Amino acid sequence: MKTTPRGRFITFEGIDGAGKSTQIARLADALRARGLEVLRTREPGGTELGEKLRDLLLDMAMHVDTEAMLMFAARREHLAAVIEPALAAGAWVLSDRFTDATYAYQVGGHGLAAARCDALEAWVHPGFSPDLTFLFDLPSAVAAARVAATGADPDRFERERRDFFERVRAAYLERARREPGRFRVLDATRPPDGIAADVAAGLAEKAWL
Ligand code: TYD
């Protein structure tokens, strides 16, 4: 009997305003054009419950432990209901953020003890991590200007101060340094076509296609 090969789990990370959404859309189109099944999703969110938790997380002030637990609660649901079934069915799952974001924002940005994040990760997805993570790296001042230029009302995280985003950025870069095989760090100040080429090169290196 022929078994379906497991899909690939690719995540996109970076501070707010890094330009992930455009690149996720472009990669999804490129993969679909090659006949691959692609699922685009995001965190917090990705399920009906997760989207409700997202609304709370982006809007209400809360203790950092609560914030981390809700992020992982949404993630548990996301994995069980969406990510795991899609991967098992052979789809490529492209997620706008995953657990690296909790290390960057809650641990790096809001001062959550890393051991608490480790414990939640070990509970929610032991032994599981993305196959590839693109980190969109850019200075917080450039990112803040991009967020402001959208004219949209900033959410609770986007209203944080510049030094918060520098801590988030540093936490992401540290994770990338520790796991060079999984991460591909992109210069997100480059024009969109250049970034798309970097994403394509990151995938080509993996020789999955
Ligand atoms: P994002 O999807 O980038 O927001 P937008 O719709 O504005 O592009 O992410 C939502 C916010 O949630 C973002 O500020 C980062 C934050 N976040 C965390 O703090 N921890 C997490 O674990 C995740 C997944 C996101």
Which protein residue's CA is at the shortest distance from atom 5 of ligand 1?
16
Evaluate if pTM is beyond 0.95. Answer: yes
Smallest CA separation from ligand 1 atom 22, residue: 102
% of the chain surpassing 90 pLDDT? 97
The Cβ of residue 132 has, within 10 Å, a number of other Cβ atoms equal to 19
List, for residues 44-102, the tens digit of each pLDDT value. 999 999 999 999 999 999 999 999 999 999 999 999 999 999 999 999 999 999 999 99
Which residue among 157, 165, 172 has the greatest number of ligand 1 atoms within 8 angstroms of its CB, and so is best to mutate? 157
* CA distances in angstroms from 6 to 131, 139, 167, 204, listed in the order given: 11, 36, 35, 18
Please tell me the distance between residue 47's alpha carbon and the centre of ligand 1 in angstroms: 15
Q: Return all residues near 185 (Cβ < 8 A) that are at least 6 apart.
A: 135, 137, 173, 176
d(CA 164, CA 159): 10
pLDDT at 3: 79
pLDDT value of residue 4:
84
CB atoms within 10 A of CB 133: 25
**What is the distance between the alpha carbons of residues 188 and 14, in angstroms, rounded to a whole number?**
9
pLDDT at 1: 66
Instruction: Give 128's pLDDT tier (boundaries 50, 70, 90).
Output: very high
* pLDDT for residue 209: 86
Query: Helices (DSSP H) in the chain: which residue ranges?
Result: 20-33, 48-59, 64-78, 84-88, 99-101, 114-124, 140-149, 162-178, 192-206
Is the beta carbon of 11 within 6 A of some atom in ligand 1? no
3-class DSSP state for residue 41? strand
Please report which confidence band the pLDDT of residue 19 belongs to, taking 50, 70 and 90 as the band edges: very high
